[in-house]
Structure 1
Amino acid sequence: MSNRRGRPESETGVLKGEASPARAASRKPRRRSHRAMVRAWRRHFLNDRPIDLTVCIANWNCRDMLRSCLQSLHDRPQGVRLETIVVDNASSDGAADMVAREFPEVVLLRNEANLGFARANNQAATRARGRYLFFLNNDTVIPRGALGRMVAYADVHPEAGIIGPRLRDSRGRTQVSYRQRPTMATLLHRTSLLRWTGMLRSAYRRYRRQDFNPGFTRPVEVLMGAAVLVPRPIFLECGGWDEEFAFGGEDLDLSARIGRRHQIVYHPEVEIVHYGRTSTRQHIGFVSSNMAIGFLRYLRKSGYRWPSLLFYKLIVTLDAPVQLIGKALQFGWRRLRGRHVKAR
Structure 2
Amino acid sequence: MLSRPAESQRKHDDEAPHRRGAARSVVSVCIVNWNCRKLLKACLRSLTSQLQGLRLEVIVVDNASTDGAADMVARVFPRVVLVRNADNAGFARANNQAARLARGRYFFFLNNDTVVPPGTLRRLVEYARAHPEIGLLGPRMRDRRGRTQVSCRRRPTVAALLHRTCLLRWTGLFRAAYRRYRSRDAAVDQVRPVEVLMGAALLTRRSLFRESGGWGEEFPFGGEDIDLCTRIGRGRAVVYHPGIEILHYGRASSRQRIDVVYAQTIIGVARAMRKAGASSTALGMYKLVVTLDEPLHWLRQFGQYLWRRARRRRAAAERSLMVLHGIGGFVMRGLPEFWRV
TM-score range, shorter chain: 0.7 to 0.9
Q: Which has the higher helix share?
A: 2
Q: 1:1-344 counterparts in 2 under 5 A?
A: 47=21, 50-75=24-49, 77=51, 79-323=53-297, 329=304, 333=308, 336-337=312-313
Q: Displacement of 1:332 after TM fit?
A: 8.1
Shift in alpha-carbon separation, 1:202–1:62, aligned structure 2, 3 A: same
The answer as to whether partners of 1:187 and 1:295 remain within 8 angstroms in 2 is no
Q: Distance in 1 between matches of 2:60 and 2:22?
A: 24
Q: Displacement of 1:305 after TM fit?
A: 3.3
Q: Distance in 2 between matches of 1:319 and 1:197?
A: 14
Gap regions ≥5 residues in structure 1:
1-39, 340-344
2:333 paired residue number: none
Shift in alpha-carbon separation, 1:331–1:278, aligned structure 2, 3 A: farther
AA paired with 1:245? F
Q: Distance in 1 between matches of 2:49 and 2:273?
A: 42
SS at match of 1:336: coil
Residue-pair matches, total: 296
Q: Distance in 2 between matches of 1:279 and 1:190?
A: 23
Q: Distance in 2 between matches of 1:304 and 1:47?
A: 45
Q: Displacement of 1:51 after TM fit?
A: 0.3
Q: Displacement of 1:330 after TM fit?
A: 6.3
Q: Distance in 2 between matches of 1:156 and 1:324?
A: 50
Q: CA RMSD in A?
A: 2.4
1:19 paired residue number: none
Q: Distance in 2 between matches of 1:49 and 1:116?
A: 27
SS at match of 1:56: strand
- Could you tell me the percent identity over the aligned residues? 59
* Partner deviation per Cα, 1:163-190 (whole Å, 9 max, x = no partner): 0001101000111111112111112223
Shift in alpha-carbon separation, 1:326–1:278, aligned structure 2, 3 A: farther
The answer as to whether partners of 2:22 and 2:57 remain within 8 angstroms in 1 is no
The answer as to whether partners of 2:114 and 2:247 remain within 8 angstroms in 1 is yes
Shift in alpha-carbon separation, 1:95–1:129, aligned structure 2, 3 A: same
